[in-house]
Chain A
Amino acid sequence: MNMTVLNLCRRSSVLAAIALLAACATSVTRGTGDLGVVVERATGSVQIVDTTHHVSLARVEGLGDLSHASVVYSRDAHYAYVFGRDGGLTKVDLLQARIEKRIVQAGNAIGGAISQDGRLIAVSNYEPGGVRVFDAETLAAVADIPATYGDGTKRSKVVGIVDAPGNRFVYALYDAGEIWMADLRDPKKPVVQKFLHVGKQPYDGTVTPDGRYYIAGLFGEDGLALLDLWQPEQGVKRVLQGYGRGEQSLPVYKMPHMDYWALAGDRAYVPAVGRHEVLVVDQRSWKEVGRVPVAGQPVFVVARPDGRQVWVNFAPPHNDTVQVIDTLSGKIVQTLTPGKAVLHMEFTPRGENAWLSVRDDNRVKVYDSETFAEIAVLPADKPSGIFFTPRAHRIGQ
Chain B
Amino acid sequence: MSAGARRCVVAFFMGVGGLAPQFASADLTAARQQALRNLLIQDCGSCHGSTLKGGLGPALTPAALAGKPAVVLQTVILQGRPGTPMPPWAPFMTEPEAAWLVEQLQTGVPNGQCNK
Contacts and interface: CB of A to CB of B under 8 A. Distances in A.
B92 A157 contact: no
Nearest to B46: A254
Contacts of A41: 50
Interface stretch (B9-17, B20-28, B51-59, B65-73): B51-59
Contacts of B83: 220
A201 interface: yes
A112 B2 CA distance: 38
Given A252-B85, A255-B85, A316-B92, A67 B54 contact: no
B49 interface: yes
B85 A219 contact: yes
Contact of A360 (B38, B46, B87): B38
Contacts of A220: 83
B53 A382 contact: no
B42 A126 contact: no
A110 interface: yes
A382 B41 CA distance: 11
A281 B51 CA distance: 38
A359 interface: yes
A222 interface: no
B62 interface: no
A65 B85 contact: no
Interface string B33-44: 000001001110
Given A86-B51, A316-B92, A360-B38, A255 B43 contact: no
Nearest to B54: A108
Interface residues of B, number: 21
B46 A108 contact: no
A85 interface: yes
A213 interface: no
Contacts of B108: none
B80 interface: yes
A86 B54 CA distance: 9
A68 B88 CA distance: 22
A39 to B, nearest CB: 12
A67 B85 contact: no
A380 to B, nearest CB: 14
Contacts of B56: 110, 126, 157, 159, 174, 203, 255
B55 A68 contact: yes
A220 B86 CA distance: 12
A204 B88 CA distance: 22
Given A68-B55, A157-B56, A360-B38, A85 B43 contact: no
B47 interface: yes
B96 interface: no
Contacts of B91: 317
Nearest to B116: A42
Contact of B43 (A42, A126, A254): A254
B46 A67 contact: yes
Contacts of B43: 253-254, 316
Given A67-B45, A254-B46, A382-B42, A108 B53 contact: yes
Given A126-B55, A341-B42, A108 B49 contact: yes
Contacts of B50: 41-42, 65, 67, 85
A251 interface: yes
A138 to B, nearest CB: 28
A251 B51 contact: no
A110 B51 contact: no
A127 interface: yes
What 3 A-B pairs come out closest when comparing CB atoms? A251-B87, A67-B50, A67-B45
Interface of A: 41-42, 65, 67-68, 85-86, 107-108, 110, 126-127, 157, 159, 174, 201, 203, 219-220, 251-255, 316-317, 341, 359-360, 382
Interface of B: 38, 41-43, 45-47, 49-51, 53-56, 80, 83, 85, 87-88, 91-92
27 contacts: A41-B50, A65-B50, A65-B53, A67-B46, A67-B49, A67-B50, A67-B55, A68-B46, A85-B55, A86-B51, A108-B53, A108-B54, A110-B56, A126-B56, A159-B56, A201-B85, A203-B56, A251-B80, A251-B87, A251-B88, A253-B43, A254-B46, A316-B43, A316-B92, A317-B92, A360-B38, A360-B42
Given A65-B51, A316-B43, 16 more contacts: A65-B50, A67-B46, A67-B55, A68-B46, A68-B49, A85-B50, A85-B55, A110-B55, A159-B56, A220-B83, A251-B87, A252-B87, A253-B87, A254-B43, A359-B42, A360-B42
